[in-house]
Amino acid sequence: MAYWIERSADQQFTLYQQGRTEPGAIVTNCDGYKKISPHQRWRAADLVIVGEDEKLIWDASARYELLGQMWKNLGGKHGGDFVGLKDMNHFEL
Residue 25 lies in a domain: yes
32 and 47: one domain? no
**Same domain for 54 and 91:** yes
Handedness of CA 26, 27, 30, 31 (dihedral sign): negative
Q: Both 78 and 48 in a single domain?
A: yes
Number of domains in the chain: 2
Residue 50 lies in a domain: yes
What DSSP assignment string belongs to 4-63?
Answer: -----HHHHHHHHHBTTTBSS----S--SSSS--TTTTT-EEE--EEPTTS-EE-S--HH
For 30, list phi and psi in degrees, rounded to 5: -100, 125
Residues 47 and 33 in one domain: no
- Shared-domain flag, residues 32 and 61: no
pLDDT reported for residue 3: 59
Q: What is the pLDDT of residue 2?
A: 54
What is the CATH classification number for the domain harbouring 93?
3.30.1380.10
Query: What range does the domain containing 64 cover?
Result: 43-93
Average pLDDT per consecutive 10 residues, the chain (93 residues; last block may be shorter): 74 93 88 94 88 83 90 95 87 92
- Give the pLDDT confidence score for residue 77 in this predicted structure: 95
Whether residues 54 and 33 share a domain: the answer is no
